[in-house]
Amino acid sequence: MIRSFLVVLLLMSAANAEEAVDPRVTPELLEAFAAHEFDDDGFTLPYRLMSPKEVDPVEKRPLVVFLHGFGERGDDNQRQLIHGGPSFVTPEFRDRHRAFVLAPQCPAGNKLDSDGNESDEPIVWSLRLRPTNETLAESIDDEPTAPMHAVRALVDHLIEMHPIDTKRLYITGLSMGGYGTWELASREPDLWAAAAPICGGGNPAWAERLKGLPLWCFHGDADGAVPVVRSREMISAISAAGGRPIYTEYPGVNHDSWTQTYKSRYLWDWMFAQSR
């Protein structure tokens, strides 16, 4: 009888366990990052939230917003943890920094045009990805994309729901998320305590807005997906505007400049030392 009861419990546990959509999304990641959805005026944003191991309702803790890359778009609410996620669940990160980490997921597919038909432009975090050398015409005052608007609204929602330190809000992302990081930081530079864009790009015209924000940018000089000039031009423009951004360029590294970046204790110690 006892044995049968244990078998039933095991079967129930297995049925309730969340299955990974990708082998790189480990059970540890799924357990650490709770799955949620956020409705932003009809737009549904899947997201994962990792909370500190012990949450004190009185003690406010930092929040890190992590924006994934193009390949992790979708609606499974898991793939956004493939890159970056493993670094957040390490004992060193969780025990040392005790932070909330938000990992939203950008939808896949293409944008709709004014007639409601699918266009050739993919849905992304930022106004536009710019892997080539054409001039950006978008203004930072233009309406953000629906996913970016939802992320920003979600940050406010989480601040209302959790003991989050509003003086220690951090933004980071890779590739498409690197573009998103540059844009979110530029839209509200006084909101964020620090930003760490990885192998992305922005509009050098935003430099004046970013000159007072602590920034650490990363890129591989052999990047074949997002040319390294995208980061170089941002750092150059911010420096010329009077800012003091930090820039790390990895010799011989292709597009994956995030693995070694997120594994580095130096990045996180620097980031969490920043406060508004």
pTM of the full structure: 0.91
In 3D space, the residue among 128, 135, 145, 149 whose CA is nearest the CA of residue 205 turns out to be 135
Q: Name the β-bridge partners of 173.
A: 67, 197
The yes-or-no verdict on residue 239 having pLDDT over 70 is yes
What is the CATH T-level fold of the domain 34-108+120-272, as seen in this structure? Rossmann fold (3.40.50)
Percent of the chain at pLDDT > 70 equals: 91
Q: Where in the chain are the domains?
A: 34-108+120-272
Among the ranges given (36-45, 114-123, 174-183), the one the predictor scored with the smallest mean pLDDT: 114-123
Q: Interior CA angle at 22 toward 19 and 26, to 5°?
A: 65
Tens digit of pLDDT for each residue in 149-199?
999 999 999 999 999 999 999 999 999 999 999 999 999 999 999 999 999
| DSSP 8-state secondary structure symbol assigned to residue 136 | P
The arithmetic mean of pLDDT across residues 22-39, rounded, is 96
